[in-house]
Amino acid sequence: MEDGLSPQKITSGLNNRIIGRRVLCYPSLPSTMETARKEAARGAPEGTVIIADEQTVGHGRLGRTWLSPEGSVSLSVVLYPDIAGLPYLIMIASLAVARSIEALTGLEALLKWPNDVLVNGRKVAGILIESSMGGKAVDYAVMGIGINIKVDISAFPEIAATATSLSGELHSSVSRLGVVRRLLVELDGFYKAPRQAIYGEWRSRLTTLGRQVCVVSGGDAQYGRAESVTADGSLMLRADDGSLTKVLAGDISLRDAADDNATR
Ligand code: ATP
Ligand code: BTN
């Protein structure tokens, strides 16, 4: 395949300090998350990247399905952060994806709290952070990133209304190799960057802030204005009665309040 990925092509000429020093490529995997977890459990070097051309059981949060057909890129990175570094992983991944998209395509990439990357209001990439704790310390964390690069989203009715791809937005082809290489450079640059700077750039790219939103957790829905985000990645939600609630990224879904009202 002209745009085929290989560890050699991906790492050639990159001088990354941590992320991407070791890259493993597979034509197909159930999920790069599981392969990365196994690598971490056997002590893989920090920054090991697992890449699959397609996943057969890709997943998002709470076991939701993540479609990863040919033309997308799915990757997971093995990391050993300290516990204070955990909330920054979602920020680092989001920023690296957004910057890579902008650099390679000129499209504007915005972030929807907590874990979506949007182009023209539709989801082009998803991010999943999983960690394994040993008592109060982090055994390892896995940063998972899926990007729709050369994907015809209309072939997937279940996401056609909410998702997009880089090729679909640009109406031309985009190099998967180019996106992956740039992504690894951005991830490496952010991984040891000052946390205050990471938080500041993440906050500034969040399209969620200032909007009326509906936070859904289990069967509960909370309405309010997305007022701010804290340095641990939580959302501060201002309800109509003036009360302020801190919402953890964990198990929630976020909708525009207007969309939610329309469907009730
Ligand atoms: P929510 O939509 O509730 O905010 P989320 O965006 O954070 O959730 P996850 O909870 O991780 O996402 O679940 C993945 C969701 O992403 C699925 O419910 C599905 O609608 C959507 N999805 C699956 N595959 C793709 C894809 N390739 N591109 C864009 N969206 C996808
Ligand atoms: C989301 O829906 O926002 C999160 C999706 C995360 C998808 C990526 S693709 C690489 C890695 N492997 C998976 O099974 N999930 C993550």
**pLDDT at res. 263:** 38
| Ligand nearest, relative to CA of residue 159 | 1
Residue 257 pLDDT class (50, 70, 90 cuts): confident
Matching residue, tokens 């525009």:
256
What 8-state DSSP symbol labels residue 59?
A: B
Which ligand lies nearest the alpha carbon of 33?
2
Question: Which among 54, 64, 67 is the best mutation to test ligand 1's pocket, defined by most ligand atoms within 8 Å of the CB?
Answer: 64
- Could you report the per-residue pLDDT of 152-207, keeping only the tens digit for each? 999 999 999 999 999 999 999 999 999 999 999 999 999 999 999 999 999 999 99
Query: Dmax over Cα atoms in the chain, in whole Å?
Result: 58
Is 80 exceeded by the pLDDT of residue 208?
A: yes
Ligand 1 pocket: which of 56, 123, 148 to mutate (most atoms within 8 A of CB): 123
- The band of 1, judged by pLDDT with boundaries at 50, 70 and 90, is very low
**Ligand of minimum distance to the alpha carbon of 130:** 2
Exposed, middle or buried: residue 83 (CB in 10 Å: 0-12, 13-18, 19+)?
exposed
Q: Is pLDDT at 250 greater than 80 in this prediction?
A: no
Which is more confidently placed, 37 or 217? 37
Q: Exposed e or buried b for every residue in 108-146, given b needs 16+ CB within 10 A? A: ebbbbbbbbbbbeebbbbbbbbbbeeeeeebebbbbbbb
**Ligand 2 pocket member 125 (CB < 6 A):** no
CA pair distance 71, 176, nearest whole angstrom: 8
Give the Å distance between the CA of 197 and the centre of ligand 2.
25
Atom of ligand 2 nearest to the CA of 72: 9
- Residue 264 pLDDT exceeds 50: no
What pLDDT was estimated at residue 249? 78
pLDDT at 57: 97
The predicted pLDDT at position 2 comes to 47
pLDDT beyond 60 at 145:
yes
Tell me what the pLDDT averaged over the chain comes to: 93
pLDDT-derived band at 259 (thresholds 50, 70, 90) equals low
Q: Can you give the pLDDT at residue 220?
A: 84
**Residue 128 CB less than 6 A away from ligand 2:** yes
pLDDT (tens digit per residue) in 70-127: 999 999 999 999 999 999 999 999 999 999 999 999 999 999 999 999 999 999 999 9
Written as one letter, the residue type at 264 is: R
Domains annotated on the chain, with CATH: 2-205 (3.30.930.10), 212-263 (2.30.30.100)
**pLDDT at residue 55 in the model:** 97
Using alpha carbons, select from 139, 128, 133, 130 the residue that is nearest to residue 41. 139
143 CA to centre of own chain: 8
Q: How far is the CA of 99 from the centre of ligand 1 (A)?
A: 21
| Ligand sitting nearest the alpha carbon of 143 | 2
Distance (Å) from CA 125 to ligand 2 centroid: 8
CA dihedral 149, 150, 152, 156 (to 10 degrees): -50
* Protein residue closest via CA to atom 7 of ligand 2: 146
Mention every residue, 6+ apart, whose C-beta is less than 8 A from residue 32: 26, 50, 51, 52, 55, 58, 74, 75, 76, 144
